[in-house]
A = this chain, B = another copy of it.
Amino acid sequence: MKCYRHKQLATDYYQISMSNVYINEGKDKDIAVFDMFVRNNPFNGGYIVCAGLEQVVQYLMDLKFEEEDIEMLRENHPELTEVFLDYLRDFRFTGELCAIPEGTILFPHEPILRVKAPLLQAQIVETALLSIINHQTLIATKAARIVQAAEGDPVLEFGLRRAHGSEAGLYGARAAVIGGCLGTSNVESETLLSIPSKGTMSHSYILSFDTEYESFMTYTKYNPNNLILLVDTYNTLKSGVPNAIKVFQQLKEEDRLPKMYGIRLDSGDLAYLSKEAKAMLDAHGFEDAVISASSDLDEYLIRDLKLQGSTINLWGVGTKLITAYDQPALGAVYKLAQVESDGKIYNKLKISNDPGKITNPGYKKVVRLYDNETGKALADLIMLVDETVDETKPLTIFHPIHTWKKRELTDFHAKQLMVPVLVDGELVYDLPTVTEIREHLKEELESMWPATTRFTNPHEYHVDLSDKLWNLKNDILNKR
């Protein structure tokens, strides 16, 4: 199937317009450092889950412009100079990318990635990098919350039909698995994830037969290992569940009831229906039947259903996950932190009347401090790259705005979170598989105190600046 995309053009025109200026003004040789970070945790939650790095790497390594792209730009934008269009012709990303590995827990204002590259390169890639990270990080964070609510029950991602197109569905499925989903209904995801996609039947399948029972029995002929019967087409408790039980009994007699068998509820009151269905299944000896549900689920509804004693033990989550329904945009930004021009270094920050929008200048890294006794994360420090943390001495950290809020840490160890990914445009990082990333997130979540991960009014995790960075920032602010 033909690919209609010109992904290399997936950028905002101002990146092109500015680049046209840069190259003519000799600014393309300046080396810029950009940080990408999020200003607020999504969903009123306490953390974000990094995701999207693999697609960022693919994008940066493959980025080049075709002759037809250049021709189109020339025609549509007469202001673009030939020297710029020539530059595009030979464009390759030759810079440095450092990033927080996917599946890592991160917090507002911490760089999720850092690009150091000739100004023009760093600028042209901004929009695509933001759309990749904003999307996958958002969905991975939502998925982690939903999986947390499911308390160990498997969660499947079912949202492709409500995704913002099939690409959003595909990478959304990837992010959902990073966030902890066991799998997805998205068949295309098999090309990315090496996990078979999941699913059994829809209402239209059942309607296409004369009877519900016939539709179920016919299904068993072709699906010896996976038998989740959708029971709400006619009437869940009067028709669907009784017919499912008849089918399970028949298969049991014939000694071909699969290990994975059960029902799916897709409408009605899921707490009530699941309890009634479980009682009916148990009464016929089908205690181990899977009771799955899928109907506008999110972390709050799953939590409530569990509190009301629902017997659901497999959750299919669609719309609310794949669109991050209650907050469908993350709002990561990409800000200039440093420019190196003619061998001189200029640290940059964006000033704003809104103090929360003032950025951190300089060439920075993120360090996480762990308690040696509990293994739990204590706080993070954003520091300059050339700084180190002395683990042998007590460390006093302070709030970056309310600086009187101080805290002394002892008996801790420090871990640098960012890893080099591209150096001179070449990959220097072993990209983990999605299942490895999912495992990494599990460990990350275990390293956090529950106060950080609860849904409602979580405790704000401490993200402080090193003395040196704080002073650099305040010097610039005071000097302007």
Pairwise interchain contact B350-A203, C-beta atoms closer than 8 A: yes
Q: Mark A26-57, 1 if CB is under 8 A from B, else 0.
A: 01001010100000000000000000000000
The one of B14, B187, B267, B335 that contacts A10, using a Cβ cutoff of 8 Å: B187
**Distance in angstroms between the alpha carbons of A205 and B20 in the assembled complex:** 11
Pairwise interchain contact B64-A160, C-beta atoms closer than 8 A: no
Q: Mark A162-187, 1 if CB is under 8 A from B, else 0.
A: 11111111111000000000000111
Pairwise interchain contact B12-A158, C-beta atoms closer than 8 A: yes
Q: Is A154 an interface residue (CB 8 A)?
A: no
Q: Is A308 an interface residue (CB 8 A)?
A: no
**Chain A interface residue count: which class?**
35 or more
The one of B12, B32, B72, B78 that contacts A186, using a Cβ cutoff of 8 Å: B12
Q: Mark A117-130, 1 if CB is under 8 A from B, else 0.
A: 00100010011101
Pairwise interchain contact A323-B329, C-beta atoms closer than 8 A: yes
* Residues in B neighbouring A444, C-beta threshold 8 A: none
Pairwise interchain contact B17-A223, C-beta atoms closer than 8 A: yes
Q: How many copies, total?
A: 2
**Distance in angstroms between the alpha carbons of A460 and B196 in the assembled complex:** 45
Q: Is A301 an interface residue (CB 8 A)?
A: no
Pairwise interchain contact B166-A128, C-beta atoms closer than 8 A: yes
* Residues in B neighbouring A433, C-beta threshold 8 A: none
Q: Give the Cβ gap from A252 to chain B, nearest Cβ, in Å.
A: 20
**Distance in angstroms between the alpha carbons of A172 and B162 in the assembled complex:** 14
The one of B30, B64, B79 that contacts A226, using a Cβ cutoff of 8 Å: B79
Q: Which of A1-9, A385-393, A397-405, A417-425 contacts B (4 or more CB under 8 A)?
A: A1-9
Pairwise interchain contact B1-A166, C-beta atoms closer than 8 A: no
Q: Give the Cβ gap from A345 to chain B, nearest Cβ, in Å.
A: 13
- A-B contacts, 10 listed (Cβ < 8 Å): A1-B66, A3-B5, A10-B170, A13-B186, A16-B199, A24-B222, A132-B165, A134-B161, A165-B167, A267-B357
